[in-house]
Structure 1
Amino acid sequence: MSPPARRGGTLVLLGGGEWRGGCRELDAELLAAAGASEVVVIPAAAAYEHPERVGERAAAYFGGLGASVRTLPVLHRRDAEDPALAEVVRKARFVHLADGSPLHLRSVLKGSALFEAVLAAFHGGAVLAASGAGATLVGDPMVDPRGGAYTVGLAVAPALAVFPYHGTAADHMRERSIELLPPAAKLVGIDEDTALVRDRSGAWRVAGSGAVTVYEGRTQQRYAAGDAVSSLA
């Protein structure tokens, strides 16, 4: 069953290039707004891609913004059922889902105690940021990286499909996702070093150095950094 489409905290969907500085001003703003001195990072999507580097990069980046990083040892499904780790997430003010494999991340999180804690923190007002694979999974339907068709996501943002690395993706993948988009959903293509942000009021905006393109059927609209995304209102 999909989680309820409630609003609470701030949702940040990053198109890729996490912790490289393209969204530095946004992250500083979010840390201040959430009253967060610590960022809880979930590296599960990178379980088979040197997950230890995720925490190192996050710590170096957020350290420059005056915040500490707690990278949780969550790489596999059994880790996501650990009540102690779930409690850490539940109390967090800023949670970040790292990039990697969206299919592995889904197998770890879907229906888990940890994901319930993510939702509890988010609906309690925390920032939930997700980059690349994480951003893909947050929507529903989810773009399948194996071919650009659709599968089931976590529906934190229901009826919204996320296409990360939009500016550098293969044309055939992008076209397939556009062609197969379900009628009731919208597709958002997010460039690297760019974020699509939904604030606590439900308003969407673009931050970072690139653009966000919203597809609805065969129509599309492009938004640059600083723009309000009116087509998602």
Structure 2
Amino acid sequence: SMTGIIALQGGGAFSLHDQLDARLLEEVRAKRVVVLPTADAFEKPEILVSAAKSWAQRLGIEVEVLMVMRRTDAMEQSAADVVRKAQAVWFVGDNPIHLRSVMKGTPVWSAVESVFQAGGLVVGAGAPASALCDPMIDPRGGALALGLGLLSGIAVVAQAELVSPDRHTRTKKLANVPLVFLPSSSALIRRGHEWEEVGSNEKVGQLPT
């Protein structure tokens, strides 16, 4: 079966990764991108929405921001249909626990998986980079929790430059899978069994093949 590309960006959604974004979008020949600011439900998603729009203008692509903010939204078949028609899906926001609890086992999440299985691109920028993996890092204490599992057997600490020495040590101690500390300006990209690393990161253990 054909699978697409998963890109985990440490942070800097719609700001730090234009070159990489353009290259990945071209690679999957994406005409339409769906942005899911789900992880930002408690913050100010409108900031991300306007960032997404100016990013789309700079890159010359069509973007649709889908306000799937609660689990009831993710259960909507109409939202799932919009996602399924995209060639690329972007997850942004800063609450990975909320993202997971809204998405897991919903029609919208199934649609994301089918975009990926059809050779499309799925991007997690910032906290969603952690949530797309299983296990994910619970930002409240650094422990491992159940993630969405688009990638499994690896845990990612997003915005690694902001992690305190205490949390850094604790996360390393608690991790029973390979762990990547990913700074905002860095990315990890998975195609089939191949990894591409953009920028620097700190790994504990080997990336799974």
- The TM-score normalised by the length of structure 2 is 0.95
Question: Paired residue for 2:166?
Answer: 172
Question: Paired residue for 2:179?
Answer: 187
Question: Paired residue for 1:214?
Answer: 203
What is the count of residue pairs matched by the alignment? 209
* 1:73 counterpart (57, 67, 80): 67
Whether the 8 Å CA contact 2:154–2:208 is kept in 1: the answer is no
Backbone CA RMSD of aligned residues = 1.5
Question: Paired residue for 1:202?
Answer: 193
- Residue 174 of structure 1: how far off its partner (Å): 1.4
Whether the 8 Å CA contact 1:99–1:132 is kept in 2: the answer is yes
SS in 2 for 1:30: helix
Superposed counterparts of 1:6-155, under 5 Å: 8-20=3-15, 22-155=16-149
One-letter amino acid of the counterpart of residue 104, structure 2: K
One-letter amino acid of the counterpart of residue 69, structure 1: V
SS in 2 for 1:11: strand
One-letter amino acid of the counterpart of residue 78, structure 1: T
- Residue 55 of structure 1: how far off its partner (Å): 1.5
The range that moved more, 65-74 or 167-176, is 167-176
Equivalent-residue separation in structure 2 for 1:50 and 1:126 (angstroms)? 28
One-letter amino acid of the counterpart of residue 90, structure 2: H
Equivalent-residue separation in structure 1 for 2:23 and 2:160 (angstroms)? 25
Equivalent-residue separation in structure 1 for 2:93 and 2:67 (angstroms)? 15
Whether the 8 Å CA contact 1:55–1:69 is kept in 2: the answer is no
Equivalent-residue separation in structure 2 for 1:232 and 1:85 (angstroms)? 32
Residues 8/34 of structure 1: CA separation in 2 closer, same or farther (3 Å cut):
same
For structure 2, the 5+ residue unaligned runs are none
SS in 2 for 1:145: coil
Whether the 8 Å CA contact 1:137–1:154 is kept in 2: the answer is yes
- Residue 232 of structure 1: how far off its partner (Å): 4.0
- The TM-score normalised by the length of structure 1 is 0.86
Stretches (4+) displaced over 6 A: none
Equivalent-residue separation in structure 2 for 1:187 and 1:99 (angstroms)? 21
- Residue 7 of structure 1: how far off its partner (Å): 6.7
Query: Taking every aligned residue pair, what percent have the same amino acid on both sides?
Result: 35
Equivalent-residue separation in structure 2 for 1:41 and 1:85 (angstroms)? 12
One-letter amino acid of the counterpart of residue 196, structure 2: R
